[in-house]
Structure 1
């Protein structure tokens, strides 16, 4: 499968998150649960590691739990349980590898890669926290627009040394512009969000390039939604640090 499909999947995920945030908390929760499950299913396929079905459950379930907790926990501690779900997921991955026993293929790669997948799955709860924070969705919209610009830049089939700076700068400029047009967020926090979001998404694009192999749909799904999930928590914490 062509690598540009990953960007399309990421854009579709962003659109679903933004749309659901304006419909209802239940709709946003449903999108977050689907995204966590998709990361769980797709991440082992992207890594090319064994025991994909078991790891899909171990990666996806913590993300689902984190999303549910972020929806129903009282503020301001929307993500108070997220570290616990991350820890539980990582511990489950280690236990699963112990059960597999020594001498199994790709044991170290499976452990480290699956632990990273657990983190990505759980970080998607940040979109819910971002939507609930202060009762407004301004930062969610700024982060989503910045991420969309970075993903669109990533679709350009130019060398990475050109596309990466272009994506970061484009997202850094889109953030303040979106803040001025759609919200009252100051230029500095919006620019910080844009640059950070662009850097994260361009880093994952580089990871896809380094892999250098054709991707299955499941792998593209995991890689397309994993970085998008991480962006939610980044936007939430930047919102708390620089604005609140």
Structure 2
């Protein structure tokens, strides 16, 4: 269970995010809470580290908190509390590792990998900020379409030296096309969103290849949702810096 399952999970998450963003803030919040929980549950399984249940809570809860804050904080500070939730999650991971004591198996890998999971979980709040930003949801759609093209490219069982450029270029072209068709977003910002999103997702594909071992469903869940969460904050900051 590897690329197809991860790709299907990522595409389903993108579809849910886009659909919820055009439905209501509460629907998008529910989707991102589930995404944060999925990252929390799946990321320790992908890393293959011990104390999976405890780490699932420590990784998922900060993401849930960041999503709630991004939904209800007044504009323009949608992500003002996100760094605090990241810091709290990272500190909780370190405290947990201290409690485990020295000499425990994979202690360093568990600490570093779990901190990365906390960041991915919290970055999902960017989808909410992107949806709320000046009331324009088109960037959510542009980023999601670019990510979907990159995910589909990642399903191709070719070497990285071919698939990685293909995914980045495909996402970079899909962004401006989606912007022209579905919104009035300028070509250059949409292209930058596509290229950045494609590069991020292709780097996560490389992580799956380097892991080598077969993935269970929980591990695929974490790897499918993690990069999708990260894309939300990337789209929000590019939107904020280059468009408005």
Alignment TM class, shorter chain as reference: over 0.9
TM-score by length of 2: 0.99
| 1:46-101 deviations in Å (ceiling 9; x for gaps) | 00000000000000000000000000000000000000000000000000000000
Distance 1:210 1:220 in 2: 14
| 1:100-156 deviations in Å (ceiling 9; x for gaps) | 000000000000000000000000000000000010101111100000000010111
The question of whether the paired residues in 1 share the 8 Å contact of 2:124 and 2:233 is answered with yes
The question of whether the paired residues in 2 share the 8 Å contact of 1:126 and 1:236 is answered with yes
1:159 Cα deviation (Å)? 1.0
Question: 2:139 aligned with 1:139, yes or no?
Answer: yes
1:7 Cα deviation (Å)? 0.8
1:3 Cα deviation (Å)? 2.7
1:162 Cα deviation (Å)? 0.5
Distance 1:84 1:211 in 2: 31
* Structure 2 counterparts to residues 169-184 of structure 1, below 5 A: 169-184=169-184
Distance 2:142 2:173 in 1: 11
Any idea what SS the aligned residue of 1:158 has? Answer: coil
The question of whether the paired residues in 1 share the 8 Å contact of 2:143 and 2:194 is answered with yes
The question of whether the paired residues in 2 share the 8 Å contact of 1:149 and 1:167 is answered with yes
Q: Which runs of 5+ in 1 are unaligned?
A: none
Any idea what SS the aligned residue of 1:168 has? Answer: helix
1:2 Cα deviation (Å)? 3.2
1:220 Cα deviation (Å)? 0.1
1:160 Cα deviation (Å)? 1.1
Any idea what SS the aligned residue of 1:77 has? Answer: coil
1:242 Cα deviation (Å)? 0.3
Q: Which residue of 2 aligns with 1:153?
A: 153
Q: Which runs of 5+ in 2 are unaligned?
A: none
Any idea what SS the aligned residue of 1:156 has? Answer: coil
Distance 2:180 2:3 in 1: 33
The question of whether the paired residues in 2 share the 8 Å contact of 1:3 and 1:215 is answered with no
Q: CA RMSD in A?
A: 0.5
Distance 1:3 1:24 in 2: 32
Distance 1:172 1:161 in 2: 17
Post-superposition, which runs of at least 4 consecutive aligned residues in structure 1 deviate over 2 A?
A: none
Distance 1:51 1:3 in 2: 26
| 1:134-192 deviations in Å (ceiling 9; x for gaps) | 10101111100000000010111111111100000000000000111111111110000
The question of whether the paired residues in 2 share the 8 Å contact of 1:125 and 1:233 is answered with yes
Distance 1:157 1:44 in 2: 25
Distance 2:12 2:226 in 1: 13
Distance 2:3 2:78 in 1: 34
The question of whether the paired residues in 2 share the 8 Å contact of 1:89 and 1:118 is answered with yes
Distance 1:22 1:114 in 2: 32
